[in-house]
């Protein structure tokens, strides 16, 4: 039997919480007495069907993204670039290698001399069972290891020379840097390691306005594209930013 690569569950705690709270509300609504009195307050337990439906619905949308939507979104992001095959690509917060493998496949399909580097801190809060070893395994299973390299470092401390990469891609990583100055530092690093004329393709569910504004101030030509409202959850926005020549 062929073993398939496993690109993991993003923010596993969030999905678990949606389902646990949703089913708790469902059980409460279905099995608690119809009316509960706490002091003078009267609670109609049937009204808990609403949050149950909402939370379980959110959990299912999350699952749809993890199992299907993220591959579609990866193709959407990588499809904004006209591939030649000789690109040097950096995936910031590569996790288990979703974009890394996608970019490497684009290069391999053109028998190009390009390469793809993934940089990550392998947080298990942001991605289930996250590790360099798990990513290496996925790259082997995809048959594209020879195009790829992994670096274990935070995005705000990139160890690459200025103007190394033609393309920098990143999905759902930068919002995980919680303080603004450090996030700004990560964007500065992305700008620094891009070659003049190179492109950053940065996707996230929030803070994309902040990334776009910072890059615009650095002289980049910036545009924004929306991912699918159904198959990306939370809905993702992509910032496309070209470094001036």
Ligand X SMILES: C[S@@+](CC[C@H](N)C(=O)[O-])C[C@H]1O[C@@H](n2cnc3c(N)ncnc32)[C@H](O)[C@@H]1O
Note the residues at the interface with ligand X (CB under 6 A): 7, 10-11, 93-95, 98-99, 119-123, 126-127, 130, 154-156, 171-173, 176-177
- By C-beta, is 8 or 22 nearer to ligand X? 8
CB of 49 to ligand X, least distance (A): 31
**Of residues 15 and 25, the one with the C-beta less far from ligand X:** 15
CB of 112 to ligand X, least distance (A): 22
Q: How far is the CB of 225 from ligand X (least distance, A)?
A: 16
Angle subtended at Cα 192 by Cα 187 and Cα 196, rounded to the nearest 5 degrees: 120
Distance CA 144, CA 26 (A): 45
- Kindly give the pairing relationship between strand 35-38 and strand 41-44: antiparallel
Compare residues 29 and 115 and give the one whose CB is closer to ligand X. Answer: 115
Residue closer to ligand X, measured from CB, 47 or 123? 123
- The bridge status of strand 237-242 relative to strand 221-226 is antiparallel
Q: Which long-range contacts (CB under 8 A, 24 or more apart) does 36-43 make?
A: none
Query: Distance (Å, rounded) from C-alpha 71 to C-alpha 50?
Result: 31
146 vs 153, which CB is nearer to ligand X? 153
Residue nearest to ligand X (CB): 95
Residue 196, CA atoms < 13 Å, CB-side half-sphere: 2
Please check whether residue 52 is in contact with residue 29, taking contact to mean a CB–CB distance below 8 angstroms: yes
In the complex, least distance from residue 2 CB atom to ligand X, rounded to whole angstroms: 22
- In the complex, the smallest distance separating the C-beta of residue 18 from ligand X, rounded to whole angstroms, is 15
**Cβ proximity to ligand X, 155 vs 240, nearer residue:** 155
Question: C-alpha angle 230/234/240, rounded to 5°?
Answer: 90
Report, in Å, the least distance between residue 111 CB and ligand X.
Answer: 26
Sign of CA dihedral 126, 208, 242, 142: positive
């Amino acid at each position: 039997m062929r073993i398939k690569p496993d690109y993991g569950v993003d923010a596993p705690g969030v999905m678990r919480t949606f389902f646990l709270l949703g089913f708790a509300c469902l059980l409460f609504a279905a099995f608690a007495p119809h009316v509960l009195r706490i002091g003078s307050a009267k609670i109609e337990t049937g009204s808990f069907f609403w949050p149950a439906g909402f939370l379980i619905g959110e959990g299912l949308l999350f699952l749809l993204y993890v199992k299907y939507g993220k591959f579609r979104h990866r193709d959407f992001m990588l499809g904004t670039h006209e591939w030649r095959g000789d690109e040097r690509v950096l995936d910031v917060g590569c996790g288990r290698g979703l974009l890394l493998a996608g970019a490497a496949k684009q290069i391999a399909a053109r028998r190009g001399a390009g390469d793809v580097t993934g940089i990550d801190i392998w947080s298990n809060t942001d991605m289930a069972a996250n590790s360099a070893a798990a990513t290496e395994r996925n790259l082997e299973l995809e048959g594209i290891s020879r195009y790829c390299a992994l670096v274990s470092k935070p995005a705000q401390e990139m160890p690459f020379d200025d103007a190394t990469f033609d393309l920098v891609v990143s999905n759902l990583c930068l919002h995980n840097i919680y303080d603004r100055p450090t996030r700004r530092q990560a964007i500065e690093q992305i700008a620094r390691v891009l070659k003049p004329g190179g492109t950053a393709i940065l996707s996230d569910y929030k803070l994309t306005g902040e990334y776009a504004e910072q890059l615009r101030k650095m002289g980049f030509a910036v545009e924004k594209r929306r991912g699918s409202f159904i198959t990306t959850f939370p809905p993702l926005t992509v910032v496309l930013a070209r470094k001036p020549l």
